[in-house]
């Protein structure tokens, strides 16, 4: 969470007071992501210190943001552990900092687990299914802004930076995803609000106890299956420090899928298209990382992610899809 906008102490302090959160005692920029400006904020009220997260939005507009904030409020009130946005005296969840839209949410307990085991994957799978069920009652709709239309717009932008093999891969996969989107099975996929970015660093744990999901600012209306595939592609993939970067971990994947289906069983259309959506999730993040890598914005603490990881994930997902049919997901598993 890079720092694009420097927030003065006095402005942050005034915002905390307006939200009845107490007096500002600390303001610290957060390093990690690349989309918005984020700060940890500590306040003191009635002798008790509390922690919050201040987000200044760099790309999302005042018109778009009520969807995300009201979704988080909806999920919090329906028992899903997510950061709850702080409201001012008028009940407004969206605020202004340095002329930009901003929000303040409570800071979740726990820490991210970047080396998850089976119990962590089971907990995430079950909670993701609960979140999808709770989201069906959410009245607002806003498309996934990093969905297929964005892929079609952005691939031509990054193509000049790719070598011949990369260009061939991204062109063929984009064509495949456009074809998939035209299928009756795709139209039949259950849909609703999705997180769309539920990576390991967007979930908090205390040991094996799940404390909550956060960073909903890529959320949108999309298929629940795509959301599940994005999650599988981070939690159930080997990463570089595990020695087999980009390869599928069948044990963790089957655990996550079984836990998810214990709460919300997959439909026949979802079983059929799981391999395709795993490819879609890999394409989406390879493409966004290419965009951030070759067309970066200036920011303090900015560290764009290496796009090579999701290129390897996509190649592996394509290889799996060519070797194995969708019938392999009939028991809730995925191709290995």
Four-point Cα dihedral 169, 173, 175, 179, nearest 10:
160
Q: Is the pLDDT of residue 7 over 80?
A: yes
pTM of the model: 0.90
SS3 content of the chain, % helix, strand, coil (to 5): 45, 20, 35
Confidence (pLDDT) at 35 = 78
Q: Is the pLDDT of residue 226 over 90?
A: yes
CA distances from 51 to 76, 80, 88, 335 (A): 17, 20, 17, 42
pLDDT tens for residues 104-118? 999 999 999 999 999
Cα 191 off chain centre by:
16
Which residues face 221 on adjacent strands?
143, 193
- Average per-residue pLDDT in the chain? 92
Q: Is the pLDDT of residue 220 over 70?
A: yes
Residue listed under structure tokens 């039949």 = 188
- Domains, the chain, ranges and CATH? 9-106 (3.30.200.20), 118-329 (3.90.1200.10)
Average pLDDT over residues 118-128: 98
Three-state SS string over 61-117 comes to CCCCHHHHHHHHHHHHHCCCCCCCECCCCCCCCCEEECCEEEEEEECCCCECCCCCC
| pLDDT-above-70 percentage for the chain | 91
Query: Residue 333 contacts by C-beta under 8 Å, 6 or more apart in sequence?
Result: 250, 253, 254, 257
Residues 74, 77, 80, 82, CA torsion sign: positive
pLDDT tier for residue 272 given thresholds of 50, 70 and 90: very high
Q: Which two tokens stand for residue 221?
A: 């209306």
Task: Return the closest-CA partner of residue 333 out of 234, 248, 240.
Answer: 248
Distance CA 331, CA 254 (A): 9
Which residues face 97 on adjacent strands?
100
Distance CA 156, CA 162 (A): 11
Residues 235, 34, 317, 144, CA torsion sign: positive
pLDDT tier for residue 23 given thresholds of 50, 70 and 90: very high
Confidence (pLDDT) at 34 = 64
pLDDT tier for residue 296 given thresholds of 50, 70 and 90: confident
Residue listed under structure tokens 């795993």 = 278
Task: Return the closest-CA partner of residue 256 out of 91, 73, 128.
Answer: 128
Distance CA 83, CA 77 (A): 11
Q: Using alpha carbons only, how large is the chain's radius of gyration in Å?
A: 20
pLDDT tens for residues 48-64? 999 999 999 998 899 99
Average pLDDT over residues 297-316: 79
Q: Is the pLDDT of residue 43 over 70?
A: yes
Four-point Cα dihedral 218, 223, 73, 211, nearest 10:
-80
Confidence (pLDDT) at 151 = 98
Q: Is the pLDDT of residue 328 over 60?
A: no
pLDDT tier for residue 244 given thresholds of 50, 70 and 90: confident
pLDDT tens for residues 254-263? 999 999 999 9
Distance CA 232, CA 252 (A): 9
More confident: 279 or 324:
279
3-state secondary structure of 194: strand
CA distances from 234 to 78, 102, 209 (A): 26, 28, 19
Task: Return the closest-CA partner of residue 257 out of 128, 139, 131.
Answer: 128
Laid out side by side, the sheet with 48-56 consists of 23-29, 37-45, 48-56, 100-106, 95-97
CA distances from 99 to 17, 62, 94, 195 (A): 18, 11, 12, 27
Confidence (pLDDT) at 98 = 96
Average pLDDT over residues 29-38: 78
């Amino acid at each position: 969470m890079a720092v694009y906008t420097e927030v003065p102490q006095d402005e942050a302090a005034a915002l905390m007071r307006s939200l009845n959160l107490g007096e500002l005692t600390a303001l610290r920029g957060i390093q990690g992501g690349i989309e918005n400006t984020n700060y940890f904020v500590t306040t003191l009220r009635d002798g008790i210190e509390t922690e919050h997260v201040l987000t200044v939005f760099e790309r999302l507009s005042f018109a778009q943001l009520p969807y995300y904030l009201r979704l988080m409020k909806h999920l919090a009130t329906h028992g899903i552990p997510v950061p709850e946005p702080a409201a001012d005296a008028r009940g407004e969840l969206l605020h202004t900092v340095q002329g930009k839209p901003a929000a303040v949410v409570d800071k979740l307990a726990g820490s991210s687990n970047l080396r998850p085991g089976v119990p962590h994957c089971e907990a995430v799978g079950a909670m993701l299914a609960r979140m999808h069920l709770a989201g069906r009652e959410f009245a607002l709709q806003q498309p996934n802004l990093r969905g297929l239309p964005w892929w079609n717009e952005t691939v031509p932008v990054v193509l000049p930076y790719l070598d011949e093999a990369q260009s061939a891969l991204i062109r063929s996969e984009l064509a495949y995803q456009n074809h998939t989107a035209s299928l009756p099975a795709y139209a039949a996929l259950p849909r609703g609000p999705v997180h769309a970015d539920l990576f390991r660093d967007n979930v908090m744990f205390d040991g094996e106890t799940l404390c909550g999901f956060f960073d909903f600012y890529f959320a949108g209306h999309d298929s629940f299956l795509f959301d599940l595939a994005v999650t599988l592609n981070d939690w159930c993939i080997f990463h570089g420090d595990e020695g087999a970067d980009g390869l599928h971990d069948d044990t963790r994947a089957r655990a996550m899928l079984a836990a998810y289906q214990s709460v919300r069983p997959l439909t026949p259309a979802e079983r059929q298209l799981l391999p395709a959506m795993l490819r879609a999730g890999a394409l989406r993040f390879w493409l966004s990382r290419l965009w951030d890598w070759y067309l970066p914005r200036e920011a303090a603490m900015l560290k764009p992610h290496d796009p090579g990881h999701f290129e390897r994930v996509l190649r592996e997902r394509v290889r799996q899809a060519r070797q194995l049919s969708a019938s392999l997901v009939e028991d809730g598993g995925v191709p290995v």
